[in-house]
Amino acid sequence: MFAIHVENLVKTYDSRRVLDGVNLDVTEGEFYALMGPNGSGKTTLASIIAAVKTQD
């Protein structure tokens, strides 16, 4: 069973697509690190998973 399931996630700000078709499955008890350069969408992805922001 997945604790987190993300499928084909898309997020656009103005006309810039910052997340394009993101897929992620995290099983209960697993830990993941979200790493990447500035502006790559890490905070946006985490905010959508936490239901702070909405996806497109």
Write down the pLDDT at residue 28.
Answer: 94
Reported pTM = 0.84
The CA distance from 47 to 25, in Å, is 16
Q: How confident is the model at residue 33 (pLDDT cuts 50, 70, 90)?
A: very high
Residue 43 lies in a domain: yes
Number of domain units in the chain: 1
Residue 10 lies in a domain: yes
Q: Does the pLDDT at position 53 exceed 90?
A: no
Range of the domain at 12: 2-50
Beta strands in 1-56 (DSSP E): 2-13, 16-27
Residue 55 lies in a domain: no
Residue 7 lies in a domain: yes
Residue 33 lies in a domain: yes
In sequence order, what are the beta bridge partners of 13?
16
Residue 22 lies in a domain: yes
Backbone phi, psi, residue 42, to 5°? -60, -50
Residue 56 lies in a domain: no
Residue 19 lies in a domain: yes
